[in-house]
Amino acid sequence: MNQSGLHVAIIMDGNGRWAQSRNWPRAAGHRAGMEALRRTVEAAPKLGITTLTVYAFSSDNWKRPAGEVRALMALFRNYIRRETAKCIRNGVRVSLIGRRDRLPLPLPAMVDEMETETRQGRMLHLRLAVDYSGRDAILAAVREGNVGNREEMSARLGPDVDLVIRTSGEQRVSDFLIWESAYAEFHFCSPHWPDFGAADLALALEDFRRRNRRFGATTAA
């Protein structure tokens, strides 16, 4: 746990299956996933979460059909247009983690602008992982230099994660925050991401608070 509160990371899985089960296009699942993200961002500060990192697009997701990639990029633009003002009002600081140089224009500039406009937010730090790979993030930090120990690497990559949540029944890490989650707890739940809401987030935190975190040491007597 960082000083101010919990860092929760979410692998928002199951948009495609949610849509397919309704005979809808996968893009409709991603649209509904965006609504679930909105609900989650609203619920997070009330549950003691101060940093929320969500996996929106992995560097391996470029392998998906071009139409689906386009739909996701359109959603990210949409999210920035529609949510920036609300984030400022609600004290949500937004950052992007991941590569920006492969994102279609004008997305990189829109991301920069959202980061600047929301930078005073103190209620919640929302980190959107887009074109993100945990392995690549580590390699990039090493290439940039001055990462001779754990502290320097952590300072470069970002805060340690307390809890990773993955929806939709899958139990994999999928190259998400692999350094930062070294001592994270994991909560896997069955709802597809578009069905995830405040009650599911509260359940995940209840589960987390029952865990006995030892960080490699023995339990205190």
Residues that bind ligand FPP (CB under 6 A): 12-17, 30, 33-34, 37, 56, 61, 75-76, 79, 128, 193
Closest CB to ligand FPP among 16 and 158? 16
Q: Which residue is nearest to ligand FPP (CB)?
A: 16
Q: Token pair of 151, please?
A: 């502290």
Closest CB to ligand FPP among 76 and 176? 76
Specify the pairing of strand 163-166 against strand 124-132: unpaired
Smallest separation, CB 94 to ligand FPP (Å): 10
Smallest separation, CB 157 to ligand FPP (Å): 20
Smallest separation, CB 147 to ligand FPP (Å): 28
Closest CB to ligand FPP among 55 and 141? 55
Closest CB to ligand FPP among 179 and 193? 193
Q: Per-residue DSSP letters for the chain?
A: -BTTBEEEEEE---HHHHHHTTT--HHHHHHHHHHHHHHHHHHGGGGTEEEEEEEEEEGGGGGS-HHHHHHHHHHHHHHHHHHHHHHHHHTEEEEEES--TTSPTTHHHHHHHHHHHTTT--SEEEEEEEEE-HHHHHHHHHHH----SHHHHHHHH-PPPSEEEE-TT----TTSSTTTTTT-EEEE--S-GGG--HHHHHHHHHHHHTS---TTSPPP-
Quick check: is 60 catalytic? no
Closest CB to ligand FPP among 13 and 162? 13
**Angle between the N-to-C axes of helices 134-144 and 150-157, in degrees from 0 to 180, rounded to the nearest 10:** 110
Smallest separation, CB 3 to ligand FPP (Å): 27
Quick check: is 61 catalytic? yes
Smallest separation, CB 130 to ligand FPP (Å): 7
Q: Which residues are known catalytic residues? A: 13, 61
